[in-house]
Structure 1
Amino acid sequence: MNSNFQKKYGPWALVTGASDGIGRALAIEIAKVGLNLIIVGRNNERLEKLGSEIQKKFNVIVKIIAIDLAKNESNKALISQINQYEIGLFAAIAGFGTSGDFFKGKIQDELEMIDVNCRSVVEQTYYFANRFVTQKRGGIILMGSLVGFQGVPYSANYAATKAFIQNFAEGLHFELKQFGVDVLSSAPGPVQSGFGKRANLNMGNAASTEVVAEKTIQALGYMVTIRPGFLSKFLGWSLIILPRIMRIYIMRIIMGKMAK
């Protein structure tokens, strides 16, 4: 796998949201197959620590970019720092969620979530899609979610951002395939990461970030959507046979129990 993976997606990969959680685990998984890394996140200290850990353990180079993708012009600043690198893999993992009654939350948090989870991803993906089509190879990993396949009470806006990503990934998969570019949506259920704390959720029966990262890399180039983790698979396939209104009702019960 390593030589083929390096040829198609190397020599550099860029991972956003690499400070912790799935982004961190995915950066390590990519390093295992021999790609140099550009890791992007808000927390410079954590990025430095991860970069040092990866370079000691794997024979790859790591570049660190500490940036807040919610801020205006952040994507232009990011792109200006990576033009000189031969990147073949882009993983848009940065994102966050909220939970509880939408009308009781802070509107600034909800709008910022749309900026990070959707607007920023579209801007970054546009840049990399053009690069990868020109070089006639590459891979794009977008972070979907189990909640992105129907409306989800008590996480309405977050679920909507993930529905956007799911549809975006599915469309791009078939647009870019003819140019040798692979697009994958990774749609896990609950994951053991910092996401639950920021979203104010009790993450029971959660999958490990390592499992999500490993299964995601294995699926790239072979699938449109991967549902890593047992709970994501179980709920995904058990809910899919139900009418949409019933799926929403069931997710209301599940999310109601998870929301603190």
Structure 2
Amino acid sequence: MDFSLTQNLESQPLWIFLLLALAFLSLLKSSFKILKWVFVNFLRPAKNLKKYGSWALVTGPTDGIGKAFAFQLAGKGLNLVLVGRNLAKLNDVSDSIRAKFEQTQIKIVVVDFCCDLDHGIERIKEAIDGLDVGVLINNVGVCYPYARFFHEVDDKLLCDLIKVNVEGTTKVTHVVLSGMIKRKKGAIVNIGSGIAGVMPSSPFYALYAATKAYIDQFSRCIYVEYKKSGIDVQCQVPLNVVTKMSTLERPSFFVASTHDYVRAAIRHIGYEPQCTPYWPHSLFWAFVKILPEYVVESYWLGVCHTIRKKGQLKDSSKNE
């Protein structure tokens, strides 16, 4: 019986064995990806952020993801440099953090990234002089008020998108990075966007998506440049989070609260150059990747048409 089985196997064409080998390798690869995903999202320990330095700098800390980062970094024992344009809101956030974490030292730097960027960068440079800023969270960003064709983007919005999302993130990174290089340690987190990072294309958000694609590529490049210098650079790509920018009002399985997103985000700092920290978002991303691009683009086009119409109705009602 064993002899006949051997004969049967030997009589099979070579392509069958190759096909079985490919199927086995494909199954092995998929199993490895699933196990890695489970480890990264649920088992991998978070890094001790205080080892990077005792201070963290957060841009855009008065609302949404930036505010959640400020609170949770203070909870990790880090002192804070808060950079934003509204002094009253910065003071409110600072007072709230100190009320919860009494030992936290906080410095406030007022910078309007849409206007006085060069002067603002100088103020940041002066504020962090002598501080071991070990963690940088580049969170500040501007998006469209609602979906629109590229020709409908006015000059001010066009300039703000490039100045805040591209120039602002780049220059803040440049000024903070010099101190990290001297100390040979640091972690830089740049907040990207699922629109640029997940969708094959982003109609009706062309310029915003392009600025976030820049952030992703910028992060990947300096990750490679400085990973041997003790500096970890990462672009985080969130999908739907309840913020003023997203206009989403309540969390759900695929829509993260700012607290839940940042809790996951902090666990990923210091690892891969690009990540989607909130695990339901990564599931959605994986699903999108297996779909044909034209299906995703058609769906997104329909969603954006609806968003655009609602935005235009709001604009027209305001002008009446």
The reply to whether TM is greater than 0.5 is yes
Q: Using the alignment, how far apart are the partners of 1:231 and 1:178 within structure 2? A: 32
Matched, 1:108 2:150: no
1:63 pairs, out of 88, 107, 111, with: 107
CA distance in 1, matches of 2:305, 2:250: 12
Partner of 1:139: 187
**Which residue is equivalent to 1:19?**
62
State the shift of 1:250 in Å: 3.5
Structure 1 residue 194 corresponds to structure 2 residue 237: no
Q: Which residue of 2 aligns with 1:248?
A: 297
Instruction: Report the CA distance shift for 1:257/1:215 in structure 2 as closer, same or farther (over 3 A).
Output: farther
Deviation at 1:102, TM superposition (A): 2.1
Task: Check 1:156–1:2 CA distance in 2 against 1; reply closer, same or farther (3 A cut).
Answer: closer
Tell me, in whole angstroms, the C-alpha distance in 2 between the residues paired with 1:210 and 1:11: 22
Whichever of the two has the greater Rg, that structure is 2
The one-letter amino acid paired with 1:254 is: V
Does the C-alpha gap of structure 1 residues 168 and 247 become closer, same or farther in structure 2, counting only changes over 3 Å? farther
Q: More strand per residue: 1 or 2? A: 1
Asked if residue 220 in structure 1 is aligned to residue 269 in structure 2, the reply is yes
Q: Find the residue that maps to 1:37 and give its secondary structure.
A: strand
1:6 equivalent in structure 2: 50
Percent of counterpart pairs with the same letter? Answer: 29
Cα RMSD (Å): 2.3
159, 164, 177: which is aligned to 2:214? 164
The separation in 2 between residues aligned to 1:101 and 1:235, in whole angstroms, is: 26
- Normalising by structure 1, we get a TM-score of 0.89
Range that drifts further, 114-123 or 82-91: 82-91
TM-score, normalised to structure 2, is: 0.74
Matched, 1:50 2:93: yes
Normalized per residue, which structure has more helix?
A: 2
Cα separation, 1, equivalents of 2:202 and 2:238:
15
CA distance in 2 between counterparts of 1:177 and 1:245 reads 37
Give yes or no for contact 2:98–2:104 (8 Å, CA) kept in 1. yes
Summarize the Cα distance change of 1:156–1:232 in structure 2 as closer, same or farther, 3 Å threshold.
farther
Question: SS where residue 290 of structure 2 aligns?
Answer: coil
Give the corresponding residue for 2:178. Answer: 130
**1:245 Cα deviation (Å)?**
5.0
Amino acid corresponding to residue 64 of structure 1 in structure 2: I
Q: Does 1:175 align with 2:225?
A: yes
Secondary structure, in 3 states, of the residue corresponding to 1:115? helix
Closer/same/farther in 2, CA of residues 2 and 236 from structure 1, 3 Å limit = closer
Letter in 1 for 2:240: P
Distance 1:93 1:162 in 2: 11
Structure 1 runs not aligned, ≥5 long: none
Secondary structure at the aligned position of 1:88 is classed as strand
5+ residue gaps, structure 2, are 1-44, 311-320
SS of the residue 2:204 aligns to: coil
Larger mean CA deviation between 45-54 and 65-74 belongs to: 65-74
Matched letter for residue 51 of structure 2: K
- Distance in 2, matches of 1:94 and 1:226, equals 18
Q: Report Cα offsets for 1:206-253 as digits up to 9, x if no partner.
A: 321112211111101122222134563233112223455554334323
